[in-house]
Amino acid sequence: MQGPLIISLDVSTRGDLFSLIDKFDRDEKLTVKIGMEFFYGEGPQIVRDLLDRGYDIFLDLKLHDIPNTVKNGMKQIGRLGVTFTTVHALGGSEMIAEAKQGLVEGAKEAGVPTPKLLAVTELTSITPEGLANEQNSKLSMVDQVVSLAKLAKSSGADGVITSPLEVSALKREVGDDFWYVTPGIRPKDFPKDDQSRTASPAEAAEYGSSALVVGRPIIKAADPVAAYHKMLEEWEDAKR
Ligand SMILES: O=c1ccn([C@@H]2O[C@H](COP(=O)(O)O)[C@@H](O)[C@H]2O)c(=O)[nH]1
């Protein structure tokens, strides 16, 4: 993938999306995330357009349905040529395995590389209290995330989406040969918004995140390009 800092393009229209990415230098190597806000409104053409610009794409639709439905949905996603895509780990082992199979089949038919399948563990907006009281989990947040990551790995996923706060435990318990892609990234001076389990880019680097997902701290910044480079530098400095 191009760059460890994935920009989450959480906007609704092509106009908003291009006015944002046109601020970046055309030969800047970027990985960008398209989520449900844009995709439900504008559909898959944007993936082709961004691929034409040479970007790597993370298509984050977080599928969660019965295994057959997810497999067939993933077959379509597999054809697009994206680098990453997502399911919810809570969909279970059969759903995750079928998701992977769908991606493999779709990519093979289209002659493109198979996207990496990332399973969302517990959303970064979920608090430990929410996990206990709304999901009735008896596990701590970290144990819950480790348990879902083990399930995802044994079912064929390539990695998980989780908060940076759980990554050190995940690396110990699930291994280094797995992607730990972490949203919930907040520079020290930026509000948490609806995120709960957050960390700065430097902290995420220290915990061992494989890649960061950043939306509002970049796309709402007065200067998105400067905000992107500042966070990237913070990450790179912490890695040295
Ligand atoms: O657990 C999760 C899974 C996905 N996300 C997505 O990442 C971005 C984060 O945006 P910010 O504006 O930086 O908060 C957003 O698209 C989410 O859908 C997540 O935050 N947490």
The rounded Å distance from CA 109 to ligand 1 centre is 31
| pLDDT tens per residue across span 47-84 | 999 999 999 999 999 999 999 999 999 999 999 999 99
Count of beta carbons in the 10 Å neighbourhood of residue 49: 14
Pair type for strands 5-8 and 211-214: parallel
Average pLDDT, the chain: 97
Range of the domain at 166: 5-239
> Domain of 103: which CATH number?
3.20.20.70
Q: What is the pLDDT of residue 154?
A: 98
Question: Going by CA atoms, what residue is nearest to atom 10 of ligand 1?
Answer: 215
Element (H, E) at 5: strand 5-8
Active site annotation includes 65: yes
Closest CA to 227 of 1, 2, 8, 59: 8
Total domains present in the chain: 1
Cite the beta strand spans of 89-174 per DSSP E: 116-120, 159-161
Enter the tokens of residue 88: 């919810």
Beta carbons of 31 and 56 less than 8 angstroms apart:
yes
Closest CA to 79 of 49, 54, 48, 35: 48
Helix (H, G, I), strand (E, B) or coil at 54: coil
Of the listed 49, 62, 143, 150, which one is catalytic? 62
ipTM over 0.95: yes
The rounded Å distance from CA 60 to ligand 1 centre is 9
Rounded CA Rg of the chain: 17
Ligand 1 atom closest to the Cα of residue 219 is 12
| pLDDT tens per residue across span 96-129 | 999 999 999 999 999 999 999 999 999 999 999 9
Beta carbons of 24 and 232 less than 8 angstroms apart:
no
The rounded Å distance from CA 111 to ligand 1 centre is 30
Question: Going by CA atoms, what residue is nearest to atom 16 of ligand 1?
Answer: 8
Of the listed 16, 22, 27, 65, which one is catalytic? 65
Element (H, E) at 228: helix 224-239
Count of beta carbons in the 10 Å neighbourhood of residue 186: 20
Q: What is the pLDDT of residue 2?
A: 83
116 Cβ neighbours under 8 A, 6+ residues apart: 83, 84, 85, 158, 159, 179
Question: Going by CA atoms, what residue is nearest to atom 13 of ligand 1?
Answer: 215
| Intra-chain end-to-end CA distance of the chain, in Å | 20
Count of beta carbons in the 10 Å neighbourhood of residue 105: 17
- pTM comes to 0.98
Residues of the chain with pLDDT under 70: none
Active site annotation includes 29: no
